[in-house]
Amino acid sequence: TAQQWVKQRIASKPSQYIIKTFESEGVKPPSIEPFTDVGLANVWFTKLTASVDCYVWFLSHGMINAMDIFTKTSGSQLLPYLLYFNTHFALLSTKQPIFSSLSPYEVEQYQKNRSSVILRMFKLVLVLIEKHDFLQYITKIIDGSFFKLLFKAVLCPARLGFVQSSKEAKKLTMITTKLCGLLNKQLKAHPRRIAAMQAVLQELLSKPKLNLGSLDFRHNFLNTERASSLAAGYLQLHQAELLKTHWQYTGLGRTLEEGVEILMTHLFDNNDGYDPLEIVAAGNLLQLGFKLYSSDKLVSTFLLDETVVASIPINEGQTQDKDESEMD
């Protein structure tokens, strides 16, 4: 197998051989302060993606020990490079003046290359925590900027360059859901980090564009793209056991139970005349509501009215769940 062949090739090689091979010339961040060269950034993103991909594959198959690569004395600079990427590029808005002279295609390519680094970085952190119990050694890169990037990837992936329903976006959903859950559990041993993560989530949930309570549910006023994106993101936070304790920041009531009832009321009071896109978005929000909290009261109040149910496809999310399970 490929794994056996590689193991034979590297069996007698020191860890520095792996580091030198995966972090060859070009992986080091270019000197681009202030940021003036998108082309140079694209080249670096491509090389950084390849480097992280190699490490992820080797670590996932147990071919190298994380302790031999990512401790201070190993000589690897990958984690500092990723920290630099987080600080300077990961959340850089494409509305900056430097992007104004680029064609839409060039901006799209920049976002695509950047999103590739983001996805691989999340996967690397996930592998290091899940398979190598390496959290204590990578807390340096798990800071406020990392949490902001992670939660934005959950709540508004399109802003980071991920295309809805693409393979990359589906991989992102699976990886970030697992990563959020693991960090929520394992960072409890690191009080400052868990406090930083919670503070970032509170801040983002309070922002109007990421706040469920800011949605206008009326026909012709419902932002369908944002509604569907938030429905998917909130469900991820719920699965990671992060949503209930932060619900008061969502703009829909003080508790999750109260908020779900408010959400349902908005949906059923405003659904008359919804166009097809609004129906899909409402269906996604309806699925979210019943996955977050279901009670006899909600069922009797909202689901037993067949005339209302007929207008909203409540089984929309079931198809999505099936697709995701098939990917697994």
| Confidence band for 315, pLDDT divided at 50, 70 and 90 | low
- Tokens encoding 69: 């690569």
pLDDT digits (tens, 9 = 90+) for 189-203: 889 999 999 999 999
Cβ-contact 149, 86 below 8 angstroms: yes
| Confidence band for 12, pLDDT divided at 50, 70 and 90 | confident
> Is pLDDT above 80 for 306?
no
Short-list 85, 84, 109, 196, CA closest to 151: 196
pLDDT for the residue 213? 92
> Is pLDDT above 70 for 35?
yes
Short-list 41, 204, 187, 167, CA closest to 125: 187
Short-list 188, 198, 292, CA closest to 246: 198
CA distance 6 to 21: 13
Distance of alpha carbon 215 from the chain centroid: 21
Provide mean pLDDT across the span 71-80. Answer: 86
Beta carbons within 8 Å of 53's beta carbon, 6+ residues apart = 120
Q: What percentage of the chain exceeds 90 in pLDDT?
A: 55
| Confidence band for 231, pLDDT divided at 50, 70 and 90 | very high
| Confidence band for 313, pLDDT divided at 50, 70 and 90 | low
> Is pLDDT above 90 for 179?
yes
Provide mean pLDDT across the span 217-235. Answer: 95
CA distance 279 to 326: 26
| Confidence band for 307, pLDDT divided at 50, 70 and 90 | very low
| Confidence band for 271, pLDDT divided at 50, 70 and 90 | confident
CA distance 83 to 241: 27
Cβ-contact 203, 196 below 8 angstroms: no
DSSP 114-139: HHHHHHHHHHHHHHHHHTT--GGGST
Can the peptide bond before residue 104 be classed as cis, meaning omega within 30 degrees of 0?
no
Provide mean pLDDT across the span 61-65. Answer: 86
Q: What percentage of the chain exceeds 70 in pLDDT?
A: 89
- Tokens encoding 155: 């709540």
Pick from 43-47, 97-101, 132-136 the range whose average pLDDT is largest.
43-47
Lowest mean pLDDT among 23-27, 236-240, 271-275: 23-27
Cβ-contact 91, 149 below 8 angstroms: yes
> Is pLDDT above 60 for 265?
yes
Cβ-contact 84, 121 below 8 angstroms: no
Burial of 138-167, coded b for 16+ CB within 10 Å and e otherwise, reads beebbbebbbbbbbbbbbbbeebbbeeeee
- Tokens encoding 298: 């909600």
Cβ-contact 5, 15 below 8 angstroms: no
pLDDT for the residue 326? 44
pLDDT for the residue 220? 92
One-letter identity of residue 55: Y
| Confidence band for 4, pLDDT divided at 50, 70 and 90 | confident
